[in-house]
Chain A
Amino acid sequence: MTRSAMIKAPPPMSLLAELTHRCPLQCPYCSNPLRLDPRAGELDTATWMRVLDEAAAMGVLQVHFSGGEPMARPDLADLVRHAVSLGLYTNLITSGVLLNRDSLKVLSDAGLDHIQLSFQDADAQEGERIGGMAGAQAKKLEAARLIVEDGLPLTLNFVIHRQNAERVPAMLDLAEQLGARRVEIAHTQYYGWSLLNRDALLPDRAQLEATEQAVAAARARFGNRLAIDFVTPDYYAERPKPCMGGWGQRFLNISPSGKVLPCHAAESIPGLTFPSVAEDSLEAIWQDSPLFNLYRGTDWMPQPCQSCAFKEDDWGGCRCQALALAGQADATDPVCHRAPAHDRIEQAIAERPATPPAFRYRRYSNTV
């Protein structure tokens, strides 16, 4: 008897809908898989509508429209409107470079609840070098201005690494100046594109500590006016993070071509079959698919996780990181100080070159 036959999994809280992998930017830490889905394979509007129906019926509360750049899909506002009609909380995760007064008005009128806008840096020239798109910063600043003018709540997202960490204070100032309600200062995590670029991105401990101090100072200064979410880099953490709140516990990801994943990086794990919304219902995939049951709960855990008091706090950490560093997706996340492969983390930090190498940009042509 399989585990899924014994215990019904709790319903997922949120759905990340990756509408497309197409994007005008080419950030070297992109969370998309190395093998990007081509436009020709993208789900059509009717299928996304059905997926949203199923998600709402299952108990999903929030849907995050993401990509690639979700504004590259002409049906985005229709999908938002449909999600709103189902009572789903709608969040748009965008680079902002395709946003203008007209496209924002259509989304706002459709009932969009919130926008998360990414910046690659507070400095325009550096931001455009990191994102690989000339002219991006002015478009982003204009997007932020339009969003705040409309009254939609705005979160700014900054991904932090060794090449922009020193400007975290300027990023926090920018968030305040632009009228954001929240700001995410999220250190890069290393799988997929960012693992490929790890030497170009991984900060040293002094840089990390400076960012922590900048965030603490800003929290004292801004109080409740601006909420700051700080994400520490796994490589310098004491304990692994509870990746996605546990595999198949709270979170669903749907790729542009309709694959249903427990996390956005799961396709990096070889030898797995990824269920598709084209073949099964979301509910059946969530409850019964081998993929979602593979690392669900604690039965699959090796030692030292199995006898660890924190096993239902961190759920063994991140499976993709275990694969990337320990060579096995079912190993203890090497971030954990008790993990047999913890030395791989220390090695990556020790072997970090003094000068960052050139970025390998996220492009269809750089796919490995």
Chain B
Amino acid sequence: MTAATLLAETCMPRFARGTRLQYDRVREQWFVQAPERAFLADAVAAEILQLVNGKRSLAKIIDQLADKFSAPRDVIAQDVLSMTQELADKQVLLLA
């Protein structure tokens, strides 16, 4: 069983204080800014994190991305749930 299977799609993730997604105009890449480190957000992570605002449920985020990329919902859901769990483990996202 993966941790991602435990995440409910009703949960509404938000960035913990002191963490954020930021576009770096110099490198032309997205970064997650966090205490004492900045790490690169790949294209998938950047698409997901741009929709994280504390008011949008994971279900809504998955729907929007499935629509935007005309991709099967279950494929998108897997990406969104696993990444959300991973960033929650790193204390970047809070789940509520």
Contact = CB atoms under 8 A, between A and B. Distances in A.
Given A113-B18, A224-B89, A59 B24 contact: yes
B91 A61 contact: no
A59 B27 contact: yes
B35 A181 contact: yes
Interface residues of B, number: 18
B93 to A, nearest CB: 12
A181 B35 CA distance: 9
A64 B38 CA distance: 13
B17 interface: yes
Contacts of B22: 61, 87, 89
Contacts of A151: 17
Interface residues of A, number: 23
Contacts of A182: 35-36
A146 B13 CA distance: 26
Contacts of A14: 38
A89 B17 contact: no
Interface in A150-193: 151-153, 155, 181-182
Nearest to B35: A114
B82 interface: no
Interface string A207-247: 00000000000000000100100000000000000000000
A343 to B, nearest CB: 35
A249 interface: no
Nearest to A150: B17
B26 A114 contact: no
26 contacts: A11-B26, A57-B26, A58-B26, A59-B26, A59-B27, A61-B22, A61-B24, A61-B31, A62-B33, A62-B36, A62-B37, A62-B38, A64-B36, A89-B22, A89-B38, A91-B35, A114-B18, A153-B18, A181-B18, A181-B35, A181-B91, A182-B35, A182-B36, A224-B88, A224-B89, A227-B91
